[in-house]
């Protein structure tokens, strides 16, 4: 049976109230559509970890710092619904804009600390937009579990922090990045790459992966990051926005691998901004 597509909060609430009364556990996978295999793996994980699964599609204008980026964001509801059909979700929530931002909407959820630096430094207001819409979607869907990809690692940290700080009754589940065969992280933005840029785009992951291995085996962080920076540019990227080693737990900057870490980068290729990150684990027995 195809899942109902709901555009109004009232219709969603009728369903979720009934599911709550039946004692079933609801999971949500928030998305902005343009679904790819990364999203579908989140949906499959949600399906395995809850009784009822809601997927949301909402292209959230408040998290775009660049109007051009918002205008170019792919809107593919029909094919998204087709991709979801075999996964057996229980509802597709595609809220009309006024269901998220009604007339007079005046509240912003702003998470300090983890939202600063990295993408936060380059995309003013982005994480306020994310935190605000995610808060609304978690409350509107009454989900008890919510699934997010690790590709947007800083976003995952922001969402974990807001849920903890606001005592929202929902468990945030992070899911590993899904990659193409050559290592490129799946992203809706990949659709905007020309064939030539697509062929070179995996240089970002290759550089991160090589640097993470070097750092894990004890190479100095500064010199290794400089080498990775050069490799990304040599691989065909026009610029590197950031490339940093951060604590995996709280995104604090790390000058040395003293704890489980994440190596995160954003870079531009043919005017398309791509982000990626990889885990970096200290060798066992290292302090």
Residues that bind ligand PAF (CB under 6 A): 30-32, 60, 63, 130, 133-134, 152, 155
167: tokens are 């005592």
Q: How far is the CB of 1 from ligand PAF (least distance, A)?
A: 25
Q: How far is the CB of 269 from ligand PAF (least distance, A)?
A: 20
Annotated catalytic residue: which of 36, 39, 229, 268? 39
What torsion, rounded to 10 degrees, do the Cα atoms 270, 63, 165, 167 define? -120
Q: How far apart are CA 170 and CA 37, in angstroms?
A: 24
Closer CB to ligand PAF, 211 or 251, in the complex:
251
Give Cβ neighbours of residue 264 (< 8 Å, ≥ 6 apart): 118, 153, 154, 242, 243, 244, 246, 275, 276, 277
Closer CB to ligand PAF, 212 or 275, in the complex:
275
Closer CB to ligand PAF, 63 or 140, in the complex:
63
Give phi and psi for 176, each to the nearest 5: -60, 150
Q: How far apart are CA 162 and CA 106, in angstroms?
A: 18
235: tokens are 């691989």
Closer CB to ligand PAF, 29 or 215, in the complex:
29
Q: How far apart are CA 54 and CA 52, in angstroms?
A: 7
Is 239:271 a contact under the CB 8 Å cutoff?
Answer: no
Q: How far is the CB of 217 from ligand PAF (least distance, A)?
A: 33
Q: How far is the CB of 56 from ligand PAF (least distance, A)?
A: 7
Active-site annotation holds for 39: yes
- Active-site positions read 39
């Amino acid at each position: 049976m195809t899942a109902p597509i709901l555009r109004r909060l009232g219709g969603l609430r009728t369903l979720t109230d009934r599911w709550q009364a039946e004692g079933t556990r609801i999971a949500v996978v928030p998305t902005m559509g343009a679904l790819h295999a990364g999203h579908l793996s989140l949906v499959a994980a949600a399906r395995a970890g809850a009784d009822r699964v809601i997927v949301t599609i909402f292209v959230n204008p408040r998290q775009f710092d660049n109007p051009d980026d918002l205008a170019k964001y792919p809107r593919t509801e029909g094919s998204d619904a087709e991709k979801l059909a075999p996964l057996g979700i229980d509802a597709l929530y595609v809220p009309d804009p006024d269901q998220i931002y009604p007339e007079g909407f005046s509240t912003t959820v702003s998470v300090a600390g983890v939202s600063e630096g990295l993408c936060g430094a380059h995309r003013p207001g982005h994480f306020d937009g994310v935190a605000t819409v995610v808060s609304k979607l978690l409350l509107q869907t009454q989900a008890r579990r919510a699934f997010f990809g690790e590709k947007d690692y800083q976003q995952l940290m922001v969402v974990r922090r807001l849920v903890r700080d606001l005592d929202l009754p929902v468990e945030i589940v992070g899911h590993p990045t899904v990659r193409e065969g050559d290592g490129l992280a799946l992203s809706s933005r990949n659709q905007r790459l020309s064939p030539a840029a697509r062929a070179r785009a995996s240089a970002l992951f290759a550089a991160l992966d090589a640097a993470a291995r070097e750092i894990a085996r004890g190479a100095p962080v500064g010199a290794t990051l400089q080498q990775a920076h050069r490799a990304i540019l040599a691989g065909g990227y026009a610029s590197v926005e950031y490339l940093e080693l951060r604590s995996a737990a709280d995104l604090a900057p790390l000058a040395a691998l003293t704890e489980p870490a994440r190596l995160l980068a954003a870079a531009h290729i043919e005017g398309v901004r791509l982000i990626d990150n990889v885990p970096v684990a200290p060798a066992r027995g290292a302090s």
